[in-house]
Structure 1
Amino acid sequence: MAMDADAMPDKEELPGLGELSRMLQIPCPSGREERMAAHLTARLQQLGAEPRKDNQGNLWVELPGRESGPGVAIASHIDEIAMVVTAIEADGKLRVQRSGGLYPFKLGEGPVVLVGDGQDIPAHLSFGSGHTNDPTDPVAQFNSGSRGITWRDCHLLTGLTPTQLQESGVRVGTCAVPAAGRRGPNLFGPADDPLVSAWLFDNRGGSLILLQLWCWLRDAGVTPLRRLNLCFLVQEESGLLGAKGWVRRNEVETFVAVDSTPMPRGTDLTLDGRPGTWSRDSQVHFDQGLIGELAAAAGRAGTELQYAVYSAAASDATGVLQVGGAERCATIGYPRENSHGYEVVRWSVFQHLTATLGEWVASY
């Protein structure tokens, strides 16, 4: 049945959507994940977990295993792509560059928030006026189709002087993200299994799955074979740094990254509720035996995996393999349209992916 505005479910009616909505309101650019970590810590404690945190900012929950030996990690990163201030001009305008894989066309002009030292400052991303025929003007060139808008053509309007910005905790290196009112979630499509769009699922979707997985294991009374770590890691978007640091300090034999599964042109991925797994990314081949185990678990959970090969993607599992942090690694996730933008997923994928990981842990 198609959904009209009056039939749209409340955010609390779809399992997990309220949880996602609350996470969407929390700015968490790379290097400034402390508020998301605090939120997740409180939620895990409410769910009966005892989270731990290291000095890098990584957060995790440890479930004891039935046997001793190297453990297993299932991990989501908690940071998001952003803008970073590179210069403060005399009139208070801010020059910005990307942090992670963010491009101006994904955002468009609109309200953003600067994650200052101590407070958030509202601002507005601007490309400048298009009412000109000057062939050297970047907006005129964009309007004519001769080239795209790049970060050097962008600035943030703040309405504040450099002194006021400094007093507000805004400086070179401060990050900015879209304002909360632009983030969603937005529901559309069939009422019984809607599509949901938001800025950004990557990787609040992974954190949502780990919260749901904790509840799945708790309610099913599962004690894993080996020590299991559910990890919420920092700075994936700036070099897979949280994962690399965490595995250097915590011994694991198997590492599974839970992330999005992008849908570039040429892949066979669809938004039909089935999880996706990365067979190979831009840098590594993942453990095919582990992928087979996850596929079998998906079957027991009543779904099946989709498979992808990427030429321009990497996950925390990639970084773990690069530093020799685990013998076996895989990446599994939720297919999404419009990667690094207003991303779209089929909501049922989160239930299917949670159950798949639960079945895998139960039979590991």
Structure 2
Amino acid sequence: MTDRDRLFQVIETLVMHHSPSGAEGEIDGYLRAQFTALGLDCWQDPAGNVIARVAGQDSSRAIAITAHKDEIGGLVKTIDAEGRVRVGKLGGAFPWVYGEGVVDLLGDRHTVSGILSFGSRHVSHESPQKVLQDDQTVRWQDAWVETKRTPEELAAAGIHPGTRMVIGKHRKRPFRLQDHIASYTLDNKASLAILLGLGEGLRSPAVDVYLVASAKEEVGAIGALYFTQHFAQSFSQRLLQSLDQDDTVPRNTLEAIARQIAQSQTLDALIALEICPLSLEYPVQDGPAPVLLVQDGYGIYDDGLNQELQQAAIAAQIPLQLAALSGFGSDASIAMKNGHVGRAACLSFPTENTHGYEIAHLDAIAHCITILQHYCESLG
């Protein structure tokens, strides 16, 4: 099996774990098991972030690398008397991107599959669907999920307003296009594969490295904002849990030790892993070269940190592209804009059809792992 084949399989497994924003439990357990199997200390914070720590040579300093684990989809709004489910968007999802086909409604007790539907084509202007064929893009208010179940049956499965809708696993499995992978939710399951690759490859970084599978990024980078704001507190609580195993030391002493150690550690930088849209408006080429962002819709990234990442790419003999994006944001840019971290960067891989059936070069994804390994091991 080649490295590309293995990377494809890792991403495929991640894609097949549903994780719509705020309902990410299916992938949480998988990630925690994987990080633990790699021998890393791993925990989940109150915001839902799954965090793995790689101990560095200098534990007074730390960096965080985030890859959001949530995916876009739909949110149930109403259920009518015929069992038709009306949904609104969750994150930047568009119904015409999904098309008519199988979707999964993630009920509290059972997952119910239904058909995202737009209505019949053989109609005249007397039917509301006619305008969708001629003049108007399909919107969420024009679509529904056909379940062929009664409202009572849906309620028994735990489906109600707020239930998440995602592309059905029936349609989710990735497809191989030569050196590329094509799939829904490469944003950001491919970046999670980078995190796992770092968890496997990083053994003695220069400083402590926190690998953060962040929650609810698609609805406002909620997980990353919590992590960066409560960094010392989160580390302190984790240390206390570890120290608690020693029942010979008084609890108040343990708390003092945990606080002292956590407060002595600073978060030097946050690096987000993301997709980079391929579009004529951006000077980004498809292929094996990752992309380092210099700006997005939330502001500029840190020039000094970007230069350090460029030096790491040169050391790894990997070409790197630069881009300034407009309709885009990441964990890193949002955290820096809100004053939670002083330095931020976003390393990404070129992706076609973003927020749709995405296509990315497997080598560009793999090269992100290599660049970040060089960076983490060479920090002064």
Q: Matches of 2:3 and 2:86 in 1, distance apart?
A: 39
- Which runs of structure 2 are paired with 1:328-347 in the superposition (5 Å)? 328-347=343-362
Q: Matches of 1:229 and 1:270 in 2, distance apart?
A: 30
Q: Amino acid of the residue matched to residue 133 of structure 2?
A: N
Does residue 95 of structure 1 match 2:86?
yes
Q: Matches of 1:48 and 1:16 in 2, distance apart?
A: 20
Residues 192, 213 of structure 2: 8 Å contact kept = yes
**Could you tell me which residue of structure 2 aligns to residue 303 of structure 1?**
318
Residue 11 of structure 1: CA displacement?
9.7
Q: Matches of 1:167 and 1:11 in 2, distance apart?
A: 46
Q: Matches of 1:41 and 1:124 in 2, distance apart?
A: 32
Q: Matches of 1:138 and 1:339 in 2, distance apart?
A: 29
The partner residue of 1:266 within 268, 278, 281 is 281
Residue 59 of structure 1: CA displacement?
0.9
Q: Matches of 1:324 and 1:109 in 2, distance apart?
A: 42
**Could you tell me which residue of structure 2 aligns to residue 324 of structure 1?**
339
Residues 116, 170 of structure 1: 8 Å contact kept = yes
Q: Matches of 1:114 and 1:347 in 2, distance apart?
A: 30
Q: Matches of 1:119 and 1:73 in 2, distance apart?
A: 36
The partner residue of 2:194 within 203, 209, 218 is 209
The partner residue of 2:366 within 340, 343, 351 is 351
Change (3 A) 1:94 1:350: same
Q: Matches of 1:233 and 1:332 in 2, distance apart?
A: 15
Q: Matches of 2:78 and 2:3 in 1, distance apart?
A: 42
Q: Amino acid of the residue matched to residue 178 of structure 1?
A: I
- Which runs of structure 2 are paired with 1:274-293 in the superposition (5 Å)? 274-293=289-308
Residue 69 of structure 1: CA displacement?
3.0
Deviations along 1:118-164, whole A, 9 cap, x unmatched? 22111110000111121x644311222x1111111000011111111
Aligned length: 345
Q: Which of 43-52 and 325-334 deviates more?
A: 43-52
Identity of aligned residues (%): 29
Change (3 A) 1:324 1:270: same
Does residue 198 of structure 1 match 2:183?
yes
The partner residue of 1:43 within 34, 39, 44 is 34
Residue 34 of structure 1: CA displacement?
1.1
**Could you tell me which residue of structure 1 aligns to residue 129 of structure 2?**
139
The partner residue of 2:74 within 83, 105, 108 is 83
Residue 12 of structure 1: CA displacement?
8.7
Name structure 2 gaps, 5 residues minimum: 233-266
Q: Which of 47-56 and 122-131 deviates more?
A: 47-56
Q: Matches of 1:150 and 1:170 in 2, distance apart?
A: 22
Name structure 1 gaps, 5 residues minimum: 1-9
Deviations along 1:144-194, whole A, 9 cap, x unmatched? 2x11111110000111111111110100000111111211311124xxxx1
Residue 13 of structure 1: CA displacement?
6.6
Residue 328 of structure 1: CA displacement?
0.4
Residues 216, 355 of structure 1: 8 Å contact kept = no
Q: Matches of 1:117 and 1:108 in 2, distance apart?
A: 25
Q: Matches of 1:155 and 1:336 in 2, distance apart?
A: 29
Residue 227 of structure 1: CA displacement?
1.8
Change (3 A) 1:335 1:138: farther
**Could you tell me which residue of structure 2 aligns to residue 233 of structure 1?**
214
Q: Amino acid of the residue matched to residue 224 of structure 1?
A: P
TM-score by length of 1: 0.91
Deviations along 1:9-53, whole A, 9 cap, x unmatched? x89971221111111111100001111110001111222222111
Q: Amino acid of the residue matched to residue 198 of structure 2?
A: L
Task: Tell me the secondary structure at the aligned position of residue 332 of structure 1.
Answer: strand
Residue 284 of structure 1: CA displacement?
1.0
Does residue 21 of structure 1 match 2:12?
yes
**Could you tell me which residue of structure 1 aligns to residue 170 of structure 2?**
181
Residue 65 of structure 1: CA displacement?
2.6
Deviations along 1:214-273, whole A, 9 cap, x unmatched? 11213xxxx222221111110000111000001111151200001111123311111211
Task: Tell me the secondary structure at the aligned position of residue 102 of structure 1.
Answer: coil
Q: Amino acid of the residue matched to residue 97 of structure 1?
A: G
**Could you tell me which residue of structure 2 aligns to residue 65 of structure 1?**
56
Structure index of larger Rg? 2
Q: Matches of 1:214 and 1:52 in 2, distance apart?
A: 14
**Could you tell me which residue of structure 1 aligns to residue 147 of structure 2?**
158
Q: Amino acid of the residue matched to residue 202 of structure 1?
A: D
TM-score by length of 2: 0.88
Does residue 254 of structure 1 match 2:269?
yes
